[in-house]
Amino acid sequence: MLVEKNAPLQSCNTFGIVAKALHLVRLKSEADIYAVLQDPAWQAAPKFVLGGGSNIVLTGDVKPLVLKVEIMGKRLAGETPKAWIIEAGAGENWHDLVTWTLQNGYPGLENLALIPGTVGASPVQNIGAYGVELQDRFDSLDAVDLTTGQAFTLNAAQCAFGYRDSVFKHASQPGEASGAQALGLKDRAIITRVRFALPKAWKPVLGYADIDKKQRQCNVDVPTALQIYEWVCEVRRAKLPDWKVIGNAGSFFKNPTVSPEQCEDIIQRDPKIVHYQLADGSVKLAAGWLIDACGWKGKSIGNAGVYDKQALVLVNRGGSANPVTGGEVMTLAKAIQTSVYERFGLRLEPEPVVV
């Protein structure tokens, strides 16, 4: 087992923030995980799991042992009368998996194209876009308990998916019942493989303005999965910066959910607010619109800026030569939160993990 010391992390986080891991291990297989957990020098040490680094803000060097997940592999693991079961290693690039599934005739993930990050991170965040969330296509996952070294499998119910949320984002509480499904798994587990149930009776998921506009422009009544994939990629590339060119962590804030009464109150003051009715009767507001309405689009604090094409995205204006710091990113984020709260009475919640 090779432990890298003072490993640079600038290329391991999509913001391009300069930081080091005091110690880092690259995990290519489950065997590598067990080697770490059985090593007397590391088995009891605090650990930090790192995937593609697309959902983190590094505010300094990382002191816990960094476990860099690089477990690869994609395959058709099985099928049911209703679905193909696709399995992928946690270290696989998410967009590459989406592309591979479509190339091999397994539709269902096309609305989630071009989301940065790895397969292993996708259930942690319950990623979603254009009317589809990971939980809609999820079958099960394999993981290893970093405390006990035991391998376990979780189904969708045990993952406790919510809006950009899962059991992996919550710490266990004293007095909870035993069993992985009853515990918060934050900082406790490492995901190794994820399986997806992709529908054989596939239907396009539409209804978002940007995608509907593409459909009208192409004069297509019933689009194919590949067409939706291409439209999603075009829309995302037009709206969002490529992190390889301009460092960023994608959407920085969650879209807040309010009651119909709260929404109506805001509409009275701001009739143009972008909002979406949810199945449970609540209303989702577009956080990017709220931020833009507060005048933040294109503004900067130090080398941290708000992207001029999409106010929901914070960017690294300093590039690789003079990169943004985690402190600058969080100062900007807190200033935006204050503005939105003062104007709308809403508290925006960041999506990335602050380390």
Q: What is the mean pLDDT of residues 339-353?
A: 94
pLDDT at 247: 95
Residue among 323, 308, 240, 322 at smallest CA distance from 13: 323
Q: From CA 106, how far away is CA 129, in angstroms rounded?
A: 18
Determine whether 351 is an active site residue: yes
User: pLDDT tens digit string along 257-274?
Assistant: 999 999 999 899 888 888
Q: From CA 317, how far away is CA 307, in angstroms rounded?
A: 9
Q: From CA 214, how far away is CA 35, in angstroms rounded?
A: 50
User: pLDDT tens digit string along 242-254?
Assistant: 999 999 998 999 9
User: pLDDT tens digit string along 144-185?
Assistant: 999 999 999 999 999 999 988 999 999 876 554 444 445 689
The catalytic position among 92, 137, 251, 317 is 251
Amino acid residing at 78: G
> Which two structure tokens, joined as six digits, stand for 192?
């190794």
278 against 230, higher pLDDT:
230
3-state secondary structure of 78: strand
pLDDT at 179: 47
In this structure, the number of other CB atoms found within 10 A of the CB of residue 341 comes to 14
Determine whether 251 is an active site residue: yes
Determine whether 79 is an active site residue: no
Burial of residue 14 (CB within 10 Å: 0-12, 13-18, 19+) is buried
Q: Is a pLDDT exceeding 90 seen at residue 321? A: no
User: pLDDT tens digit string along 178-227?
Assistant: 444 456 898 899 999 999 999 999 999 998 888 999 999 999 999 999 99
pLDDT at 183: 67
Nearby residues of 167 by Cβ (< 8 Å), 6 or more positions away: 154, 158, 159, 160, 181, 183, 184, 185
Which residue carries 């303005």 as its tokens?
A: 209
pLDDT at 319: 87
User: pLDDT tens digit string along 273-293?
Assistant: 888 888 888 999 999 999 999
pTM: 0.88
CA 140 to chain centre: 18
b (16+ CB within 10 A) / e for 87-123: bbbbbbbbbebbbbbbeeebbbbbbbbbbbbbbbbbb
Residue among 264, 225, 12 at smallest CA distance from 117: 12
The catalytic position among 164, 195, 236, 317 is 164
CB 253 within 8 A of CB 349: yes
Which residue carries 């204050």 as its tokens?
A: 338
Instruction: Classify the phi-psi angles of 117: left when phi > 0, otherwise alpha if psi is within -120 to 50, otherwise beta.
Output: left
User: pLDDT tens digit string along 54-87?
Assistant: 999 999 999 999 999 999 999 999 999 999 999 9
Nearby residues of 339 by Cβ (< 8 Å), 6 or more positions away: 291, 294, 295, 296
Residue among 203, 225, 227, 229 at smallest CA distance from 216: 227
User: pLDDT tens digit string along 10-32?
Assistant: 999 999 999 999 999 999 999 99
CA angle 12–151–112, rounded 5-degree value? 45
Q: Say if strands 47-50 and 65-69 run parallel, antiparallel, or are unpaired.
A: parallel
- H helix intervals, 225-347: 225-239, 260-269, 287-293, 326-344
In this structure, the number of other CB atoms found within 10 A of the CB of residue 284 comes to 17
Residue among 261, 251, 269, 260 at smallest CA distance from 344: 269
